[in-house]
Amino acid sequence: MRWNQQKIVAALSAVPGAGRVEATTYPWGDYTTNAIVVHTPDGKHRIHALGFNDDFVIDREDAEDTDVVMVELSDGTDSRGGLQSTDPQVIRLFGELRIALVGMGATVVDQMKDYF
């Protein structure tokens, strides 16, 4: 999948139930893109998505536009990744975000730690 940060921010902003959508200005690790954070409309919760590769380092200057192998989607509730929240608003938004990312060609996983 091609991780084009601007296109993904625009697409996730259009997801039903999405509040503010923002891209971080830093990658979370050597193998990751910048993260995109989607807030619930009330601002109480957030879900993050970030692309990653399991076999090569992403250059920092390419963190906004690069090819990725998979996309981590997590509500950040705990270290298990994925969806752990029991809040109905978060559950609905998480599902809609997953559908949108898969529709863009992403292989969505709960956490990248499982692949290293």
CA distances from 29 to 7, 37, 62, 86 (A): 22, 16, 13, 28
pLDDT tens digit sequence for 63-95 = 889 999 999 999 988 888 899 999 999 999 999
The domain total for the chain is 1
pLDDT tens digit sequence for 11-62 = 999 999 999 999 987 666 777 888 999 999 999 999 999 999 877 788 777 7
Beta bridge partners of 34: 27
Domain that holds residue 32: 2-115
User: What confidence tier does 98 reach under pLDDT thresholds 50, 70, 90?
Assistant: very high
| Residue 19: DSSP 8-state | -
End-to-end CA, the chain: 19
Q: How far apart are CA 101 and CA 12, in angstroms?
A: 8
Q: How far apart are CA 13 and CA 1, in angstroms?
A: 19
